[in-house]
Structures are given as C-alpha cells and as structure tokens.
Amino acid sequence: MTDLLTATQIDHAAQLLRRGELVAFPTETVYGLGGDAADDRAVAAIFAAKDRPSFNPLIIHVPTFAAAADLVACDSRAVLLAERFWPGPLSLVLPRRPGSPVSLLAGAGLDSLAVRVPAHPLALALLRAVARPVAAPSANRSGRVSPTTAAHVLAELDGRIAAVVDGGPCRVGVESTVVDLTTARATLLRPGGVTIEALRAAIGAVDDAPSTTELRSPGMLQSHYAPSLPLRLNATEVAPREALLAFGEAAPAGALAVRWLSRDGDLEEAAANLFASLRALDDPAYSGIAVMPIPEWGLGRAINDRLRRAAAAQDGVDGAAVGG
Ligand code: TXA
Ligand code: MG
C-alpha cells in the first residue's frame, strides 16, 4: 500500500527518500515520482514502477541553483535562465560534472544532465529536507498522461511506491520546458511551462528541436501521452457518441460530455486543466474525444505538443510507446 502523506509529513517523506524508497510529490507542473538520484537502486526502481521500457534520462530536482551547479557545469546562459525562471517550470540540460554523485542510470549514461528547481512549496521543502538530488519523472505509468493530482498518482502507482505527498492540483499542469544548453545554440527539446518566447527574451536565440533531437531526448518520442480513446484534433464539430474537449466560448453542440480547458480562451487555465480533462473524458462510454483548436502561441505550444503526441500514439506512430 502507498501512504498518502500531508504537508505536515514532509520530514517523513524525506526519510523515505533517504532510505532509497520512492515518493511521489507535487510540483507546480505535474506530480513527480521521486527517488534518490545518487542511489542506483532507487533510480532503477523508478523505471520499474513506471514500466518504462527503456532508460530515458530523468530530470534531477534540486532546491537551489547552487545545488544544481554542484551537478552540472553552468554557463552564462544557464545563470541567466536560472535567475529569470527558477524556481519554475524549466529544465536545463547541461554538461554533467565529472564528480557528480548522480547515478549514471538517472542520466541514461549521457554526459549531460537535466536539472530543475521546481516552484512548489512542498517540493522545495521536501528537496531541502532530503538534502540530496532527487530524480523525478512524471508520476504516471509509461505512456500515460501525467498526473496533476495525488489521486491520479494513486490510480496508476498504488502499491508500487512508498508514499505520495498530497499538495492538491498542480498550478501549471503541463511539464517543464526542457532546453539543451550543451550546444552552441540553445535548443528547445520539449515545449512546456516556460514559453519559447520568454526564453528568447532572456537569452536571445533558441532553436526549435530538429527531428533528430528525438534520439537525444527520448521523451520527445511521439507516443507519450495517451488516453485510451481516440483523439481527434482541431475539431469544429462533434460526431455522434464523441466527448468534447472544449476551448473558448464557441463550442459545437451535440457532445455526450464536455470538459472545458478554458471557457475564456485563457491558455494558462487550459494548461492547468489539460491532463485532468483528458482523464475525465477517457471513458469507454464515448467513442472518442474531439478536441477544439488551441492557438499555437505561448502555453498553447506545449498544450498542442501534448495533444499531438496523444493523437499520434493512437495512430500507432512510434508504437514502442516510450513514455515519460
Ligand atoms: O515538469 C516536469 O519536468 C516533470 C516534473 C515532475 O518535474 N518531470 C518530467 O519528467 O516531466 P519526465 O521524465 O517525464 O520527462 C523528462 C524529459 C524527457 O523528455 C527526457 O528525455 C528529457 O527530459 N531529458 C532528461 N534528461 C535529459 C538529457 N540529459 N538530455 C536530453 N533530454 C533529457
Ligand atoms: Mg513524463
């Protein structure tokens, strides 16, 4: 059985992590499945708990920039981005320091590591109490939608992890933006909670991921976020028996069920509601989920990225279903 812990039990959660157990915890983006990043067995247990078919590199969570700088070599771009966006929904891929205690398995054997300081008070309290880097992928089974509540975590991982810290729903709702700083030009590996517009305002040029990047960032593989029902994107009308994921006021009529990402067309609200809405509509009572068009700017890029992956997974693209 997995224990459901409250905010007052952070020290207990930290002890579990220091003993090599797995503890899921809230971040501002999604819930993470945490394990001691320096403990090979704990890291291996993370992959096993998720049924991850291959060893994708994990994001290493730390409470401060200084703690990150112990693990990776930070250049001036990293300093600028950390000053501007940490704590926050941004993961930086940087050269691993030779003496870094992080398990090689956590970094999938790469000579780089993704590091992030999350902006959730419980995550920060936990990371401070553990006083070790914590590896944490999203706390879902591989290939499934990321969890944004403790109940989502338990639905997939109950009995597989020691505990989950309940911090209520996640504020941002999509995963962190992943930026590769190991190259001369910064490259966006995954759109997320920090927009590419904001990154460019901070450090200038940031390239969009070329398709070859998929090899370096396995989380970029197409089949990743998959509800069981077929997903139909950019829908302007609803088919019989379809459920509707709506955005904006002008929703087509006739859906068996409707969940609103945002009635006002607010992209932040839509991101926060995305994964919980997909879960709620993923019910065999419906034939599929029709998704209204979402604008391709700001957080809309991250939302559309997740929706396209979910739709591609069902089309059998990249059937290996390698997922975070
Ligand atoms: O918001 C988030 O980032 C959440 C919360 C829990 O922090 N975590 C998360 O982790 O989404 P995960 O494992 O689901 O996604 C990690 C992403 C993957 O796309 C992975 O390939 C990429 O980060 N990544 C990690 N380390 C990398 C590295 N060294 N080089 C390139 N990509 C890396
Ligand atoms: Mg994931």
Ligand nearest to the CA of 302: 1
**Amino acid identity, residue 61?**
H
CA-nearest of 64, 92, 59 to 78 is 92
The rounded distance, in Å, linking the Cα atoms of 322 and 311 is 15
**How many of the other CB atoms lie within 10 Å of CB of 321?**
17
250 alpha carbon – ligand 2 mean position (Å): 32
Q: What is the token pair recorded at 237? A: 């009308």
Confidence bin at 224 (pLDDT 50/70/90): low
Amino acid 54: pLDDT: 67
pLDDT band at 216 (very low <50, low <70, confident <90, very high): very low
Pairing of strands 177-180, 90-95: parallel
User: Is the confidence at residue 222, as pLDDT, over 80?
Assistant: no
User: What size, in residues, is the chain?
Assistant: 324
Ligand number nearest to the C-alpha of 27 = 1
What pLDDT score was predicted for residue 262? 96
Per-residue pLDDT tens over the stretch 145-158: 999 999 999 999 99
3-class SS letters over the chain: CCEEECHHHHHHHHHHHHCCCCEEECCCCCCEEEEECCCHHHHHHHHHHHCCCCCCCCEEECCCHHHHHCCECCCHHHHHHHHHHCCCCEEEEEEECCCCCCCCCCCCCCCEEEEECCCCHHHHHHHHHHCCCEECCECCCCCCCCCCCHHHHHHHHCCCCCEEECCCCCCCCCCCEEEECCCCCEEEEECCCCCHHHHHHHHCCEECCCCCHHHHCHHHCCCCCCCCCCEECCCCCCCCCEEEEEECCCCCCCCCCEEEEECCCCHHHHHHHHHHHHHHHCCCCCCEEEECCCCCCCCHHHHHHHHHHHHHHHCCCCCCCCCC
Band of residue 281 on the pLDDT scale cut at 50, 70, 90:
very high
Closest CA to 192 of 300, 111, 284, 316: 300
State the pLDDT at residue 256: 93
In percent, the amount of the chain with pLDDT more than 90 equals 76
In this model, does residue 320 exceed pLDDT 50? Answer: no
How does residue 315 score in pLDDT terms, banded at 50, 70 and 90? low
57: its two tokens: 């590199």
219 Cα to the center of ligand 1, angstroms: 7
Q: Single out the residue of 136, 159, 164, 144 nearest to residue 42, CA to CA.
A: 136
Q: What is the pLDDT of residues 48-95, one digit of tens each?
A: 899 876 678 999 999 999 999 999 999 999 999 999 999 999 999 999
Interatomic CA distance for residues 83 and 150, integer angstroms: 30
Q: How would residue 19 be classed by pLDDT, with cut points 50, 70 and 90?
A: very high
Q: Ligand 1 pocket, 277 CB below 6 A? A: no
Query: What is the arithmetic mean of pLDDT over 223-246?
Result: 89
Give the pLDDT band of residue 319 (cuts 50, 70, 90). very low
What is the Å distance from ligand 1's center to 138 Cα? 8
**Which pLDDT score, from 0 to 100, does residue 225 have?**
60
pLDDT higher at 31 or 315: 31
Mutate to test the pocket of ligand 1, among 165, 178, 216 (most ligand atoms within 8 A of CB): 178
181/78 Cα distance (integer angstroms) = 7
pLDDT number for residue 226 = 76
**Predicted confidence band of residue 214 (pLDDT cuts 50, 70, 90):** very low
**Could you give the count of Cα atoms lying within 13 Å of 30 in the half-sphere of its Cβ?**
27
Q: Provide the pLDDT for residue 134.
A: 98
In ligand 1, the atom with minimum distance to the C-alpha of 31 is 6
What mean pLDDT is predicted for residues 29-39? Answer: 97
**Which comes out higher in pLDDT, residue 9 or 299?**
9
Kindly give the number of the ligand 1 atom that is closest to the alpha carbon of 193: 1
pTM of the complete model beyond 0.85: yes
The predicted pLDDT at position 89 comes to: 98
What are the structure tokens assigned to 31, written together? Answer: 């819930």
23, 91, 97, 102, best to mutate for ligand 1 pocket (most atoms within 8 Å of CB)? 91
Mean pLDDT in residue range 134-142: 95
Task: Return the percentage of the chain with pLDDT > 70, whole number.
Answer: 91
CA separation for the pair 302, 43 (Å, rounded): 27
Does the C-beta of 126 come closer than 6 Å to ligand 1? no
Can you tell me which residue has the tokens 């609200």? 269
The residue with greater pLDDT, 166 or 55, is: 166
